[in-house]
Chains A and B, each alone.
Chain A
């Protein structure tokens, strides 16, 4: 026998699912939302995404190769996804240098300085986004107007997001009845014909991708569904108490980054809990914080902050919400 016999411990088979597979599944899941983004924001969305992806990948390569002098892990696809998710969380008319800066913070600070894939505590794309939001609040909150079948290169007209309109309206003492006249229709919200960050608008496209991720078992239902249910319940209670002061749950679910956050950002494998019980606690936290920021905070939208805050709790959640060990005493049940 020419080749030596391999001796290794069991198991001798593998599921053949690799980290790369998981990352590429996320990539495929993001395609529908990407297409909608190009459809409504035109070339600028394409430019934004390309720049973010290129700079994320490049920064990872350069930092790993020349600064850290470690193995370059660009091929696992995780930097690619950080780039896309970062782009999806930015207005498409953001100056290019800001996109590059955001990418540097996402990859350099949030990911590699913690030790690279698997060691980062916070979702890199969100750190990049929040860094930009705090540093450049004006540019980060003037969104281009969504135009169906957009072919313009630069969007001159800017408009506000649904949540922004509501927040501002309520601040000036308007009631929901008058505000709702200015809001996009539910159908537009669902399809994504609305202002907002490049990839967060089309609930339908995002849910489609989300179902794909669930079917491929990249994510489980625990995080996205719990976030959405928590948000529905909480905004529902306020809406029932005073429908003139609080928007209905449907608007909350379909606008802003709720769907994008619930299916793609909060479910980030690295920065979410590792047990199902933990995931539910984590997701309830995200839902509650998001709603609190949206209803009572200074910012119209709070998904990014909510996810980052809960990211910080993940090690603690992992410690306290462990799976039940087989054969450990079961709490007495009433028979």
Chain B
């Protein structure tokens, strides 16, 4: 019996259309739009001016605090504007617009480096490097990685868990990366183990990616501190708390962090970025993005420069097909619908999903029939129907005492509701109000 988390979860259609498509390199875009808030926390501070020439990999916006991250220029070129543009959140955000210098040779260099297994850097330097290189969680949460690695409180962390679950339907970016960069990922894990003095690492991969499990097992064969755990396919297993529970059975306490149970979780994409930063001094300026959809003929996975307009990616796969009604930044369960394709790829963009007419709109909500399905599927042990009800009635205090804040917004409740009730919409709203009330109280 394969491991999985015990309570809740759903199994949406997998639709991993691009799992056999090798990662292609997108041509360098003519213009990149680099937002300064690509991570959770304080936005970075712009340190360049209009008309400045910038080098590829140069810091253009400096980390704005501890929970923040550096932003590097993905290309060599000229800053044409410091502008407000709509990002994936739907709001206008500050952004550095850089025109690529086509003559600059560094733009044509392909950052493919030979495998470098030996880790020469010292512990302290490793952490500094990760921080300097602008690395954030690439699974989608975009939490600055160095914050997770800061173990000053004498936390007894004994496990490093690597998230290769990719439980979102459609997305295959992590899957392809694991297949194509398995050995680099193993070195990346060793780097973190060295930096954090951890002796146990487990890579969690769902069993619909057997090839990746095999490849990583092989790559990790020399290092008996690193295990690969094949997991049952179940959404939302890629959620940190569920993943830790599935692999080592520890339960992160309510309101707590993985650190509280001695675990640090990193996504495989982040691990690869760490490898690149530590071994080859490459800042995070590109990532793997899955561009997919049932009606896309040339759906595939791409290495994409941060700041590339999604438009360019869509063109690369043959343009938006007729009848496109929804474009999602991310996967179908947790991704954000975007208004147009001018929005740039950021550090958190794991996929672009194009949805056609028949799947784009929601059904009309009907009465709750009290079937309890939302309760069964909630991985956090919440009662979504109750939370929606409480929010609807404005009973926020009660919603707070029913643990609304522990909701991880996986969407399993809305997915499964036979009455098509917008459970998660209301819960999100309830959470935002409760958060405000809490802030007001303090």
Interface residues of B (CB under 8 A from A): 7, 10, 12-13, 90, 169, 241, 245, 251-256, 320, 323-328, 330, 332-340, 353, 355, 357, 359-363, 366-372, 375-376, 378-383, 385, 403, 406, 409, 411, 414-416, 418-420, 422, 424-425, 428
A-B contact pairs, 14 of them (CB 8 A): A1-B324, A8-B362, A9-B337, A9-B422, A10-B328, A10-B337, A11-B414, A12-B335, A13-B333, A73-B367, A274-B372, A323-B381, A325-B381, A330-B251
B378 in contact with A327 (CB, 8 Å): no
> What residues of chain A lie closer than 8 Å to B376, measured between beta carbons?
220, 276
Contact digits for A1-37, partner B, Cβ 8 Å, 1 yes 0 no: 1010111111111110111011000000000000000
A11 in contact with B370 (CB, 8 Å): no
Q: How far is the CA of A21 from the CA of B256 in the complex (A)?
A: 40
Considering only residues 74-101 of chain A, those with a C-beta below 8 Å from chain B are: 76
Considering only residues 246-305 of chain A, those with a C-beta below 8 Å from chain B are: 269-276
Does A324 reach chain B (CB closer than 8 Å)? yes
B418 in contact with A21 (CB, 8 Å): yes
Considering only residues 163-195 of chain A, those with a C-beta below 8 Å from chain B are: none
The closest CB in chain B to the CB of A12 belongs to B332
Given the known interface contacts A8-B337, A12-B326, A19-B419, the answer about A327 and B370 at a Cβ–Cβ threshold of 8 Å is no
Considering only residues 287-335 of chain A, those with a C-beta below 8 Å from chain B are: 322-330
Residue in A17, A270, A326 whose CB lies within 8 Å of B380: A326
Residue in B10, B320, B368, B382 whose CB lies within 8 Å of A323: B382
Q: How far is the CA of A13 from the CA of B234 in the complex (A)?
A: 15
Could you tell me how many residues of chain A have their Cβ less than 8 Å away from some Cβ of chain B? Answer: 42
Least CB distance from A261 to B in Å reads 19
Does A236 reach chain B (CB closer than 8 Å)? no
Does A119 reach chain B (CB closer than 8 Å)? yes
The closest CB in chain A to the CB of B380 belongs to A326
Q: B interface, by DSSP: helix, strand, loop or mixed?
A: loop
A117 in contact with B381 (CB, 8 Å): no
A10 in contact with B336 (CB, 8 Å): yes
In the complex, besides A325-B406, A327-B241, 4 extra interface pairs with C-beta distance below 8 angstroms are A11-B332, A14-B420, A273-B372, A327-B253
Residue in B251, B323, B333 whose CB lies within 8 Å of A3: B323
Does A243 reach chain B (CB closer than 8 Å)? no
A118 in contact with B370 (CB, 8 Å): yes
Interface centre among A9, A13, A271, A274 (most CB of B within 10 A): A13
Q: How far is the CA of A172 from the CA of B150 in the complex (A)?
A: 83
A325 in contact with B403 (CB, 8 Å): yes
Residue in B255, B353, B370 whose CB lies within 8 Å of A270: B370
> What residues of chain B lie closer than 8 Å to A7, measured between beta carbons?
90, 326, 337-339
B372 in contact with A11 (CB, 8 Å): no
Q: How far is the CA of A285 from the CA of B68 in the complex (A)?
A: 56
> What residues of chain A lie closer than 8 Å to B7, measured between beta carbons?
323-324, 326
A327 in contact with B254 (CB, 8 Å): yes
Q: How far is the CA of A324 from the CA of B403 in the complex (A)?
A: 11
Q: How far is the CA of A275 from the CA of B386 in the complex (A)?
A: 12
> What residues of chain B lie closer than 8 Å to A329, measured between beta carbons?
253
The closest CB in chain A to the CB of B10 belongs to A15
A3 in contact with B357 (CB, 8 Å): yes
Least CB distance from B335 to A in Å reads 6
Residue in B340, B381, B424 whose CB lies within 8 Å of A5: B340
Least CB distance from A203 to B in Å reads 26
A327 in contact with B256 (CB, 8 Å): yes
Residue in B252, B323, B325, B411 whose CB lies within 8 Å of A6: B325
Residue in A3, A15, A116, A327 whose CB lies within 8 Å of B12: A15
Nearest 6 A/B pairs, CB to CB = A274-B372, A11-B411, A118-B367, A327-B254, A269-B371, A323-B381
The closest CB in chain A to the CB of B385 belongs to A274
B372 in contact with A19 (CB, 8 Å): no
Residue in B340, B367, B415 whose CB lies within 8 Å of A11: B415
> What residues of chain A lie closer than 8 Å to B359, measured between beta carbons?
12-13
> What residues of chain A lie closer than 8 Å to B361, measured between beta carbons?
6
